[in-house]
Structure 1
Amino acid sequence: MGGEAAGAPHYHYERAGPGPVCGIDEVGRGPWAGPVVAAAVILDPLAIPEGLNDSKRLSPERRAELAALLEARAVVALGVASVAEIEAMNILQASFLAMRRATLGLATRPALALVDGNKAPPGLPCTCRPIVGGDALVLSIAAASIVAKVARDRMMVALAQQFPGYGWETNMGYGTRTHQDGLARFGVTPHHRRSFRPIHKMLCGADSVSA
């Protein structure tokens, strides 16, 4: 079966499930800018793309190829929580919100959700099982990690065209030197997470200077 090479994620958890099983993962908890994005994926056991793995272990080109295959062969949905929602409820709760939106967006209602991490998002429409390191262990979670990563990267590339100078097209909103230099030169944008400590400190510093 596709994707079950030695050392790769496997389909064992899905086989043991009580019906349609989706994998859920999110990307974008750590960046200083941009939304948090989650994906939910129900794989077709007869059409699993070869080479599914934790998105961090794949090249951008391979992630894009696999995301396209998953869109064609699996039941896939995205959920997004905006910067405003991250600010209103904190990054953990915003991640849970994105996961709920992704799961509710699936065309097929799952009976079980396998979620990367150690916490079950509240409010899912099905039973939930958190799995620590799930994106490296479970095929459907690995698939979700790929779909979410590709989707968020594309969002950040689009935002980089609107707000050049921060390097979002390569750093995806993380606090790299290029991003820090952009903040020093151009200031904070509406897409920055103002509650995150580096951005908050910069804003407080600007307020003290202008006072």
Structure 2
Amino acid sequence: MSGPDDSFETEHWGAGRLVAGLDEVGRGPLAGPVVAAAVILDPARIPAGLNDSKKLSEKARDRLSAAIRDCAEVAIGVAEVAEIDEINILQASLLAMHRALSALPRAPHHALVDGRFVPPQLACPATPLIKGDGRSVSIAAASIVAKTWRDALMRDLAQHHPGYGWETNMGYGSKSHISALRNLGATPHHRRSFKPVHNILWQGNSTSD
């Protein structure tokens, strides 16, 4: 199966309209924020090799992220752990995407959004694309930027909270992360509304009662 192309963008580009790709990363982890990126590509300078960030090596993602930042308009949006716990992960993901789009230097005329939902009250019309990071170059670019930004953040947080393995598991619920959560307890960066974290905290409270 081939990678993403510009078939969703060409009609807009042909009419001189700015198109932003929107994607988020970090819906599944037990710790850390959910991070979204918005990217407006220059149709004349699209980096070669864009793809769903999950299908790329870390080295390729880092190289492409730098290339995207060099030739495109890029913005990041974050929804913090407290917001995830308060409004749920889906709503927090949409909020992060809304923030990313709003932070772009120029307002796009249209947005291509990864997934089946469009963030409410976007400043422009938007098209949701299921598995969009493998179908649209703009969304693929956003997925790469969001992934590299969040991975760097989790590596930084790992320095302040050693023992959970965030520098390699990026906050996802690996066996070693779950084990550390049981032994070390939860940090302020753990999502208490997520079942594994909630259950471990509840068990800890029950034992200490």
Structure 2 match to 1:180: 178
Deviation sequence 1:54-104 (CA, Å, 0-9, x none): 001100011001000111100000000000111111111110110011000
Tell me whether 1:7 sits opposite 2:2 in the alignment: yes
Indicate the RMSD between aligned Cα atoms, in angstroms.
Answer: 0.9
Paired positions, count: 206
What is the deviation of 1:152?
A: 0.3
How far does residue 8 in structure 1 lie from its aligned partner after superposition? 1.6
Q: Distance in 1 between matches of 2:8 and 2:47?
A: 17
**SS at 2:8 equivalent:** helix
Q: Does 1:151 align with 2:146?
A: no
Counterpart amino acid of residue 3 in structure 2: A
**In the aligned structure 1, how far is the partner of 2:167 from the partner of 2:32?**
12
- Cα distance in 2 for partners of 1:157, 1:25 equals 21
Instruction: Summarize deviations over 1:107-127 as a string: whole Å, max 9, x none.
Output: 111111000101111011100
Give the secondary-structure state (helix, strand or coil) at the position aligned to 1:13.
Answer: coil
Counterpart position of 2:81: 83
Query: CA shift at 1:209, angstroms?
Result: 1.0
**Residue from 22, 35, 38 that aligns with 2:36:** 38
Partner of residue 57, structure 2? 59
Q: Point out where structure 2 has 5 or more consecutive residues left out of the alignment.
A: none
Matches within 5 A, 1:50-199: 50-199=48-197
Find the aligned partners of 1:202 and 1:178 in 2 and give their Cα distance. Answer: 14
The answer for the alignment partner of 2:47 in structure 1 is 49
Q: Give 1:12 shift.
A: 1.1
Q: CA deviation at 1:193?
A: 0.1
Moved >4 Å (runs of 4+): none
Distance 1:38 1:124 in 2: 14
Aligned residue type for 2:101:
T
Distance (whole Å) between structure 2 residues aligned to residue 61 and residue 182 of structure 1: 28
Partner secondary structure for residue 75 of structure 2: strand
Separation of aligned partners in 1, 2:106 and 2:51: 23
1:184 deviation in Å? 1.9
Q: Which amino acid is 1:85 matched to?
A: E
Q: Secondary structure at the match of 2:78?
A: strand
Could you tell me the TM-score, scaled by structure 2's length? 0.97
Q: What is the match of residue 210 of structure 1?
A: 208
Which residue of 11, 31, 45 corresponds with 1:16?
A: 11
Name the CA distance, whole Å, in 1 between partners of 2:94 and 2:118: 8
Identity of aligned residues (%): 56
Query: What do the CA deviations read for 1:161-211 (whole angstroms, capped 9, x no partner)?
Result: 000111100000000011012112211110000010000011111111111
2:2 maps to amino acid:
G
